[in-house]
Amino acid sequence: QVQLVESGGGLVQPGDSLRLSCAASRRTFGTYIMGWFRQAPGKEREFVAAIKRTNGITYYADSVKGRFTISRDNAKNTVYLQMNSLKPEDTAVYYCASDNSAAELTTQRGYAYWGQGTQVTVSS
C-alpha cells in the first residue's frame, strides 16, 4: 500500500500562482508514475499532469501546458505541481495519484493509489 497526502491548496485570485505537494509513504513501490488529476463540481475527474520516477519524463493535459509544471523529489518521496497564471476554470479538487505502471498514465484506472485531494479555488 501507498499513502499519498496532498497539501498546498487554497483560495487565490486569477493570475496568481500556487504549488501543490504530494508526499508518498513509499519511496519506490507503487510510485513509478505519479500524477495529478482534478475534479470540478459537476464534472468528471480529469488528468492534469504526470511524471515518471526513473527519468523524470513529464506529461501534461493541453489545458495546463505552459502554465503548470510537475516535478518530483525522489529523496523526499514527494511530487509537486507548480501552477502559474491560474484561471477560474482551474478551480477544482486536485488529487495526487501513483502506480507501478505508466501504461495508462492519463486515465484514472491507470493509478492504484490516490490521495484525499486538496481544494484549489481561483476567484476574484
Query: Each residue of 7-30: pLDDT tens digit?
Result: 999 999 999 999 999 999 987 787
Q: Are strands 92-99 and 33-39 parallel, antiparallel or unpaired?
A: antiparallel
Mean pLDDT (the chain) is 95
pLDDT on residue 82 = 98
Query: Each residue of 97-118: pLDDT tens digit?
Result: 999 988 899 999 999 999 999 9
Q: How far is it, in rounded angstroms, from Cα 6 to Cα 20?
A: 7
> Cell digits for 44?
468528471
Query: Each residue of 45-87: pLDDT tens digit?
Result: 999 999 998 888 999 999 999 999 999 998 999 999 999 999 9
Q: How far is it, in rounded angstroms, from Cα 13 to Cα 43?
A: 22
